Amino acid sequence: MEIFGQNVFTQDVMRERLPKAVYKNLKKTIDEGLPLDPSIADVVATAMKEWAVERGATHFTHWFQPMTGVTAEKHDSFITPTDGGIVMDFSGKELVKGEPDASSFPSGGLRATFEARGYTAWDCTSPAFLKEEADVITLCIPTAFCSYTGEALDKKTPLLRSMEALSTQAVRILRLFGNQTATKVTSTVGPEQEYFLVDKSYFLDRLDLMMAGRTLYGAMPPKGQEMEDHYFGAIKERVVSYMKEVNTELWKLGVTAKTQHNEVAPGQFEVAPIFETTNIATDHNQLVMDVLKRVAIRHDMICLIHEKPFAGVNGSGKHNNWSMGSNDGQNLLDPGNTPHENAQFLTFLMATIKAVDEYAGLLRASCASAGNDHRLGANEAPPAIISMFLGEQLSEILEQIEKGATKTSKGGSEIKIGVTTLPALPKDTTDRNRTSPFAFTGNRFEFRMLGSSFSIAGPNVIINTIIAEALKQFADKLEGSKNFTADLEKLLQETAKKHKRVVFNGNNYADEWVKEAKKRGLPNIPNTPEALKELVKKEAVELFVAHKVFSEKELHSRYEILVEQYVKTLNIEALTMIDMAKHSIMPAATSFATEVAQSISAVTAVSSKIDVSAQKELLEEISSNLSSMNKNVKALEKVLDATLNISDIDKQAAAFREKVFAKMLDLRADGDALEKIISADFWPLPTYAEMLFIL
Q: In the complex, which residues of this chain contact ligand ADP (CB under 6 A)?
A: 188-190, 192, 259, 272-275, 319, 321-323, 331, 429, 443-444, 446
Compute the Cα dihedral for 523, 527, 529, 532 and give only its sign: positive
**Least Cβ distance, residue 270 to ligand ADP (angstroms):** 7
Out of ligand ADP, Mg ion, none, which partner does residue 429 contact, by CB within 5 to 8 A per kind?
A: ligand ADP
**Residue 430 or 645: which CB sits closer to ligand ADP?**
430
**Residue 336 or 426: which CB sits closer to Mg ion?**
426
**Least Cβ distance, residue 468 to ligand ADP (angstroms):** 17
The helix (run of H) or strand (run of E) holding residue 689 is helix 688-693
**Residue 326 or 528: which CB sits closer to ligand ADP?**
326
Nearest to 62 by CA among 142, 8, 151, 145: 142
Fill in the DSSP letter of residue 431: G
Out of Mg ion, ligand ADP, none, which partner does residue 326 contact, by CB within 5 to 8 A per kind?
A: none
Residue 24 neighbours by CB under 8 Å, 6+ apart: none
**Least Cβ distance, residue 460 to ligand ADP (angstroms):** 11
CA angle 380, 384, 389 (to 5 degrees): 80
| Local structure of 119: helix, strand or coil | strand
**Least Cβ distance, residue 109 to ligand ADP (angstroms):** 35
Out of Mg ion, ligand ADP, none, which partner does residue 322 contact, by CB within 5 to 8 A per kind?
A: ligand ADP
**Residue 445 or 566: which CB sits closer to Mg ion?**
445
**Least Cβ distance, residue 334 to Mg ion (angstroms):** 18
* C-alpha torsion angle, residues 386, 391, 397, 401 (rounded to 10): 0
**Least Cβ distance, residue 277 to ligand ADP (angstroms):** 10
Out of Mg ion, ligand ADP, none, which partner does residue 626 contact, by CB within 5 to 8 A per kind?
A: none
**Residue 333 or 555: which CB sits closer to ligand ADP?**
333
Out of Mg ion, ligand ADP, none, which partner does residue 272 contact, by CB within 5 to 8 A per kind?
A: ligand ADP
Beta-bridged to residue 187, according to DSSP, are: 324
**Alpha-carbon span 445 to 437, nearest angstrom:** 10
**Residue 275 or 310: which CB sits closer to ligand ADP?**
275
Separate counts of helices (H) and strands (E) for the chain: 23, 17
Fill in the DSSP letter of residue 221: P
CA angle 523, 347, 418 (to 5 degrees): 145
**Residue 319 or 375: which CB sits closer to ligand ADP?**
319
Longest dimension (CA), the chain: 104
Out of Mg ion, ligand ADP, none, which partner does residue 189 contact, by CB within 5 to 8 A per kind?
A: ligand ADP
**Least Cβ distance, residue 231 to ligand ADP (angstroms):** 11
Out of Mg ion, ligand ADP, none, which partner does residue 454 contact, by CB within 5 to 8 A per kind?
A: none
Q: Determine contact, residues 133/256, Cβ cutoff 8 Å.
A: no
**Residue 147 or 193: which CB sits closer to ligand ADP?**
193
Distances in Å between the Cα of 169 and the Cα atoms of 175, 322, 329 are 10, 17, 17
**Least Cβ distance, residue 187 to ligand ADP (angstroms):** 8
Tally of CA atoms within 13 A in the half-sphere of 614 that contains its CB: 5
**Residue 319 or 444: which CB sits closer to Mg ion?**
319
Tally of CA atoms within 13 A in the half-sphere of 354 that contains its CB: 24
Out of ligand ADP, Mg ion, none, which partner does residue 373 contact, by CB within 5 to 8 A per kind?
A: none
Q: Determine contact, residues 207/313, Cβ cutoff 8 Å.
A: no
**Least Cβ distance, residue 635 to ligand ADP (angstroms):** 43
**Residue 66 or 317: which CB sits closer to ligand ADP?**
317
Q: Determine contact, residues 474/353, Cβ cutoff 8 Å.
A: no
State phi, psi for 271 to the nearest 5 degrees.
-135, 135
Out of ligand ADP, Mg ion, none, which partner does residue 335 contact, by CB within 5 to 8 A per kind?
A: none
The helix (run of H) or strand (run of E) holding residue 302 is strand 301-304
**Alpha-carbon span 651 to 4, nearest angstrom:** 50
Residue 665 neighbours by CB under 8 Å, 6+ apart: none
**Least Cβ distance, residue 505 to Mg ion (angstroms):** 17
**Residue 445 or 656: which CB sits closer to Mg ion?**
445
**Least Cβ distance, residue 448 to ligand ADP (angstroms):** 9
**Least Cβ distance, residue 85 to ligand ADP (angstroms):** 49
**Residue 192 or 380: which CB sits closer to ligand ADP?**
192
**Residue 318 or 374: which CB sits closer to Mg ion?**
318
List, as one string, the DSSP characters of 27-43.
HHHHHHTPPPPHHHHHH
**Least Cβ distance, residue 319 to ligand ADP (angstroms):** 6
Q: Beta-carbon neighbour count of residue 103 at 10 Å?
A: 11
Closest chain position to ligand ADP (CB): 190
Compute the Cα dihedral for 675, 677, 678, 681 and give only its sign: positive
**Least Cβ distance, residue 489 to ligand ADP (angstroms):** 27
**Residue 60 or 445: which CB sits closer to ligand ADP?**
445
Task: Tell me the residue type at 584.
Answer: S
Out of ligand ADP, Mg ion, none, which partner does residue 443 contact, by CB within 5 to 8 A per kind?
A: ligand ADP
Cβ burial 448-476 (10 Å sphere, 16+ → b, else e) = bbbbbbbbbbbbbbbbbbbbbbbbbbbbe
Out of ligand ADP, Mg ion, none, which partner does residue 274 contact, by CB within 5 to 8 A per kind?
A: ligand ADP
Residue 423 neighbours by CB under 8 Å, 6+ apart: 393, 413
Chain residues that interact with Mg ion, rule: CB under 5 A: 192, 319
Distances in Å between the Cα of 156 and the Cα atoms of 83, 144, 294 are 40, 6, 23
